[in-house]
Amino acid sequence: MQVVVVESEADVAICCANLIVDEVLAKPNAVLGLATGSSPVSTYKQLVQLNQQAEVSFKETKTFNLDEYIGISSSDRHSYRSFMDGNLFNEIDINPNNTFLPDGMADDLQAEAIKYESLIAAAGGVDLQLLGLGSNGHIGFNEPSSSLNSRTRVTTLSDDTLTANSRFFTPDENQPSLALTMGIGTILEAKKVVLIATGSHKAEAVKGMVEGPLSAFNPASALQQHNATVVIIDKVAASLLQHCDYYQRVNHQIVKLAANS
């Protein structure tokens, strides 16, 4: 796991967007795994800007989102489809037919989960998976206690997650308590993973993910088993890490090796 600590939330977005752009420039038909939540919003703004400045094109790119709520239609403003259309897809040159999210309104949700896995496999697997981090350590909607080998499936949102996400819903709106999510096993199959986290409310989860034991009670700790994960965090989210100096030395070494190759 490569841990990159930067000054601010804005720097996290720039660094993350650059990694995504590098991936797409190297492989225009790359398959990107994408995330929702507050964390990737600034990264998506960067991607929109770089696309509009013709620095990168997403015409051949395919995307698979991590998750979708169950029981709200894709046109609902709370759906992750609406989030992605509004924050990214409608603003860039991607072909909308190449953007995939699980269908949380499917009659047969188990069949939908299997179909989603097949679509990812048929696309050749995910080249780069972007992740946020729940303050309880979840990735996608894989809540604490999720199997570290889990696949795309229906998941029950934890009280922590329901409380954290209630900020997006008014009291009279129905907040879904179920979702379809890629599993941890699905996520670990991505060739590269980039996880971003900012703010003091993420510091505990970051500590558990990077320096804690591998545990189903800290789903993000599963990334310790992935051999190409970059964690990009701001100083506040990194505040509980004990080995920041070492991570910085590792990063210097990586840059030096890249310059010499």
Residue reference for tokens 């900020």: 167
Number of residues near ligand GLP (by CB under 6 A): 14
Of the candidates 59, 232, 45, 203, which has an alpha carbon nearest to the alpha carbon of residue 136? 203
CB closer to ligand GLP, 56 vs 153: 153
Q: Which of 51, 63, 161, 229 binds ligand GLP (CB under 6 A)?
A: 161
- Give me the helices (H) in 5-106, please: 9-26, 41-52, 80-87
Q: Helix, strand, coil proportions of the chain in percent (round to 5)?
A: 40, 20, 40
Q: How far apart are CA 173 and CA 102, in angstroms?
A: 22
The contact mask relative to ligand GLP for 19-58 (x = CB under 6 A, - = no) is ----------------xxxxx-------------------
Task: Give the range of 113-121, 128-136, 146-154, 213-221 binding ligand GLP by CB under 6 A.
Answer: 128-136
CB of 36 to ligand GLP, least distance (A): 6
Q: Check residue 2 for interaction with ligand GLP (CB under 6 A).
A: no
Active site residue 91: no
Could you tell me the two tokens for 213? 């034991």
CB closer to ligand GLP, 52 vs 174: 174
- Give me the helices (H) in 53-141, please: 80-87, 109-122
Which DSSP string corresponds to 176-193? --EEEE--HHHHHTSSEE
Q: Check residue 63 for interaction with ligand GLP (CB under 6 A).
A: no
Q: Which of 33, 102, 104, 134 binds ligand GLP (CB under 6 A)?
A: 134
Of the candidates 122, 63, 68, which has an alpha carbon nearest to the alpha carbon of residue 94? 63
Task: Give the range of 91-99, 132-140, 214-222, 229-237 binding ligand GLP by CB under 6 A.
Answer: 132-140
Residues lying near ligand GLP in the complex (CB under 6 A) are found at: 35-39, 66-67, 132-134, 140-141, 161, 165
By annotation, the residues acting in catalysis are 67, 136, 138, 143
